[in-house]
Amino acid sequence: MSDSSPSPSPSPPPPSDDERLSICRRLLLSSPPGQFDLILADLRNIHRHSGGGGNGAAADLLNDVWAEDARGEYDRRTRRDVLNAGESKGDVGGGDGGGALVESLRRAMGKYMTTHYSNSNSNSKSNPGGGGSASASARSNFSVTSNNDDNESSSFTVTTYAERIDLRNYHSGSWSAEYTIRNVAGAGIAEAIMEMSGVVDLVAHSFENGNVQMRSSIPLGPVAPLAVASSSAVPAPADTAASIVLQIQRWEDADVQSKLGELYDSVNNGEGGGMLKSLRRIMPVTRTRMDWKNAGVHRLARTMAERGEQQQQQQQQQVG
């Protein structure tokens, strides 16, 4: 009698080197803040022990040249390359109005970043996992880049990046933003009507007893910069720069931090108990969901049940 059991399906062919590199690159480009080197070390270790060849295969495939190219793309995508740039990244741009405004904006942004963002680095502690440092640090920087090569500096970009890395305490996060200011009237930018737009991207990662990432991208504008009092009919470059920084501050405070705070609070404490509380399973005895508004009743019932068990144990001990 023949065996009628189905034959096992053939195993898929192993991925090619190009497919391995593509997968590894996607994983690296998704690295949480401060963990690029750690994930790179893990990928090399996985490749070495998963049929990728001998001990030298991972080093040959995921070599330093390939890794640095992936790191450059990662830094550009996350705007982390701003950390390695000076405050005068890019061309200032020609023309008295554009150049003076860009320089004024650099000075104003320098003061704003010093006041609102921190730069600190604690004593470094080596990471036993390799491929990175477990030191706690906070870094930030900005750049102001002219987008024009001619004498009419009618558009420029302000980029900011900040990160706080504390791998010893299992969390890290980054804040990056890009603001575009352009002249919509066609005159010298210091005298013209300007329009601002931007986007803020945030990443938060916590991996103590779990692995949770929260990523948010908030588009902003377009709007005209907030007006700043000026002693002349044509605002001076310093006044225009102050209005741009004021709009950035308003966006970050009211449109990003406040709204994200409300969103994160509603996840846990919103109407009906919040999204996370609503995920709690139906209770097996009553076949109802947890009533978070009357959670004290459940705590009281549990306390009384525990007290009853303790009294029963004491009675049994006395009888014995």
Contact status, residue 224 vs residue 195, Cβ threshold 8 Å: yes
pLDDT for residue 133 is more than 50: no
pLDDT, the chain, mean: 78
pLDDT confidence band for 137 (50 / 70 / 90): confident
Task: Give the pLDDT band (50/70/90) at residue 309.
Answer: confident
| Between residues 158 and 298, the one the model is more confident about | 158
Q: pLDDT tens-digit profile of 194-249?
A: 889 999 999 999 998 888 898 999 999 899 887 666 666 667 888 889 999 999 99
Which of 176, 178, 182 lies closest to 156, judged by CA? 182
On whether the CB atoms of residues 61 and 50 are closer than 8 A, the answer is no
Mean pLDDT of 296-315: 73
- Phi and psi, residue 167, nearest 5°: -70, -25
pLDDT score, position 90: 39
**Is a pLDDT exceeding 60 seen at residue 72?**
yes
pLDDT (0 to 100) of residue 55: 47
> pLDDT digit string (tens) for 162-182?
999 999 999 999 999 999 998
- Tell which wins on pLDDT, 92 or 35: 35
